[in-house]
Structure 1
Amino acid sequence: DFTIINVEKPPCFLRKFSPDGQYFIAFSADQTSVEIYTFKGCTAMNEFLQICKAKDFIGNRPEPFHDYLRMSAFHAFFNLKHSVNVAPTGEQLNRECSLFTEDGKYILVGSAAYITDE
């Protein structure tokens, strides 16, 4: 086990892995798009961790190599494959509403729009 605290990530809302574990789903920062990341596997950072002096934990101490690991970790594990705009103009995705179909091929998301009292 190895823990890295405060990993930098793209400006998005991280949601969940696909049922087969090959993809990671996020919502864009403006909550209008579904972002699909390819998961590169658990060993994606092995070469970095081989030269890391910390044995099981990288905390918040400002050390240049640890800062580099925090900045690099997300992109070492995930690669953006698609960003799909799914919310019509004026709507935002509901961050708590996302379901995969039984076969894992599709994801269902919900969106909402603000309705004025007119």
Structure 2
Amino acid sequence: MCYNNDINVSSISRSGGLSLGWKGHCTFSLRSFSKNYIDIMIDADSHGNSWRFTGFYGALEVGNKRDSWNLLRSLHNTSIVPWCVAGEFIEILLSSEKQGGLVRNSTQMQNFRDALLDCHLEDWKIGIG
């Protein structure tokens, strides 16, 4: 895909970087970024509304997932405008979402659900491809 706007975060050692790209024109400001997220403010959409978008990449390691959820909570607490978060959280909300492999730890799923609730976020399944 060809995007006429993008923001890139370089990789750290062998881990991949992040990229946020979009078509069209909008006025935005980069709020902050790290190896796990890119956070921007859309200054005004076609209706004159400001809102916020965060591209998020959760921790792969089970031991670091709590840090991911705390980061999400911290990002939530920095603004009161409408907020959309999308990305790869590397977690599921319910065991019914998993197909095959080992049974998912119920505490891990509950911690993810709690983080979404704390941030007033809802899970929307969007097919890509």
What range is the shorter-chain TM-score in? Answer: under 0.3
What is the TM-score when the length of structure 1 is the normalising length?
Answer: 0.24
1 or 2 for the larger relative contact order (CA 8 Å, sep ≥6)?
1
What is the TM-score when the length of structure 2 is the normalising length?
Answer: 0.23
